[in-house]
Structure 1
Amino acid sequence: MEGRWIEVADRVLVRRHTELDLSVGLVLGDGGCLVVDTRGDERQGAELLAEVRRITPDPWAVVITHSHFDHGFGTRPFLDCPVWAHENCRTDLAENGAAAREVWARWYRERGEPGIADDIAGTEIVLPDRLVTDRAELSVGGRAVVLSHFGPGHSGNDLVVHVPDAGVTFAGDLVENGAPPDYEDARPLDWPAALEGLLGLIGSAGGTVVPGHGDPVGREFVMTQHAEITAVAALCREVTAGRMNAESALRLSPYPPETTRTALRRAADGPFPR
């Protein structure tokens, strides 16, 4: 079985996967638990479900950090249960989920991985039924968990999952460890403010932040990434306003040229609906 559990705090676990370097979460309470993201297709979701069941027999709820396939297309095996997400996550899945399923099935097929392609193509996309606008507080087996949306960033529907008594925050893809941030569906000009919200939530003590991809990190890592993403936003503003050419922005960016080109394109596409 691909994947391994890491206990990052008392009864808060992260499951690390080689595929896409993905991190998903499990918060354990007394008589209940919360699954944070469900992977990228129904087979992967069923595998995750089996691993959760090795740890706890308790009923669960699910929270999806954002609408991208690798974080929520594996939800179907977990039903019936509450599925939490930002309200725009449901909208994006309803309007664009089927197209995204086709895109990613084709991507894996072209990579020579027809098994994963078939799994994605045959996956039923589940729409969340518990919707968050700005903030919601859950009780997970008597344990408080706070869901927060700090505005668009990596996507238009990023949701942060905070476990106050453990000092653990699941950041979804607002934070990326091991690769440059993904701007393909991003709001480059808004992303810095979303990270400011995240930094305010975790406070000066910091604790553990779980990126959507890569190993868990601390506050210092998030601050460094916030500075980089802020620098990219400033470059996007300069290019969009005609005060700088794209070549200069690529040279000055903290990220590789392809990442920066995508950020510039996304900034030029705005403004985006919130």
Structure 2
Amino acid sequence: MSSQLLPVAPGVERWVMPEAAMNAVVVADGGDALVVDPGTLPARAAELRAAVEARGDRIVAVVITHAHWDHCFALSAVDDVPCLAHPTAIAELRQHGDAQREAVLGFASPEVADAVRALPIVIPGEPVAAPRTLRVGALEVELEPLGPAHTGGDLVVHVPAAGVTIAGDLVETADDPQLDESTDVGGWLRALDRLEQHAQPLLLPGHGEPCGHERIVHHRALLEPRAV
């Protein structure tokens, strides 16, 4: 696990959570900071927030790429700022957040299970149903809702000035693509087509090291047989 901000590109950093090398991401410029996927547990997100604020940046918004616990159960640590997500992700978290909690309790360590049992499930308040641009300092950050794909509502974050696209779990390097009951394989393949055409050269996956578009090719090869 990382307990520090790791540079990815100018204005973009990641903080690696221990659950499957999940990347919490910070986009920062001019004293403003945007957090993408604050992670797993409020205590860990609070540590990330303290590191951001200690250098003089102010968190102005949070974005959730999709409604899986390891990306968004830490939201209570940043619930005083606007939180944006795909409308379907908001609905999934509202409807199935408690079921996710129960699933986590079945495999988590006792320490993590205790923390998950106690945390409040916070629902993002600002749906992103169409492409939207945020300004973080002088940086333009583009939010693009996709899906259904990996989940019913995935969202990617483009930072053109940095040459980075934050892809959530549409792209992974720590493991192969992960599917569950909410996955739409055909939609995922269409999302990969969109990323190949529109994403920035450097992809920051939900789990693992940054990569290039070659990882899209890898994922497509694994997913295409499942679409038949």
Q: 1:96-130 deviations in whole A, cap 9, x for unaligned? A: 1111112212321xxxx111001011111111111
Tell me, yes or no, if structure 1 residue 226 matches structure 2 residue 223. Answer: no
Other structure's SS at 1:60 match: strand
Give the alignment partner of residue 161 of structure 1, picking from 134, 139, 157. 157
Give the alignment partner of residue 184 of structure 2, picking from 184, 187, 190. 187
Matches within 5 A, 1:95-174: 95-108=95-108, 113-174=109-170
Q: 1:25-72 deviations in whole A, cap 9, x for unaligned? A: 100121311001011122222222223224443232100000000001
Give the alignment partner of residue 198 of structure 2, picking from 197, 201, 211. 201
Code of the aligned partner of 1:24: A
Query: Could you say which residue in structure 1 is the equivalent of 2:204?
Result: 210
Q: Structure 1 residue 20: deviation in Å?
A: 1.4
After superposition, the Cα gap between the structure-2 partners of 1:50 and 1:193, relative to the gap in structure 1 and judged at 3 Å, is same
Query: Could you say which residue in structure 2 is the equivalent of 1:58?
Result: 58
Gaps of 5+ in 2: none
Aligned length: 227
Tell me, yes or no, if structure 1 residue 175 matches structure 2 residue 171. Answer: yes
For the 8 Å contact 1:134–1:150, the answer to whether it is kept is: no
For the 8 Å contact 1:88–1:157, the answer to whether it is kept is: yes
For the 8 Å contact 2:14–2:26, the answer to whether it is kept is: yes
Other structure's SS at 1:196 match: helix
C-alpha separation in 2, matches of 1:227 and 1:56: 44
After superposition, the Cα gap between the structure-2 partners of 1:48 and 1:167, relative to the gap in structure 1 and judged at 3 Å, is same
Q: TM-score, normalised by structure 2?
A: 0.93
Matches within 5 A, 1:9-48: 9-48=9-48
C-alpha separation in 1, matches of 2:2 and 2:163: 27
Q: Identity of counterpart residues, as a percentage? A: 36
Code of the aligned partner of 1:16: V
Other structure's SS at 1:175 match: coil
For the 8 Å contact 2:176–2:219, the answer to whether it is kept is: no
C-alpha separation in 1, matches of 2:27 and 2:209: 17
For the 8 Å contact 1:82–1:129, the answer to whether it is kept is: yes
Gaps of 5+ in 1: 238-274
The worse-fitting range, judged by mean Cα deviation, of 168-177 and 128-137 is 128-137
For the 8 Å contact 1:145–1:163, the answer to whether it is kept is: yes
Code of the aligned partner of 2:147: G
After superposition, the Cα gap between the structure-2 partners of 1:43 and 1:214, relative to the gap in structure 1 and judged at 3 Å, is same
C-alpha separation in 2, matches of 1:187 and 1:158: 11
C-alpha separation in 2, matches of 1:226 and 1:102: 32
The worse-fitting range, judged by mean Cα deviation, of 19-28 and 50-59 is 50-59
Larger radius of gyration: 1
For the 8 Å contact 1:42–1:120, the answer to whether it is kept is: no
Q: TM-score, normalised by structure 1?
A: 0.78
Q: Structure 1 residue 2: deviation in Å?
A: 4.3
Code of the aligned partner of 2:190: A
For the 8 Å contact 2:146–2:153, the answer to whether it is kept is: no
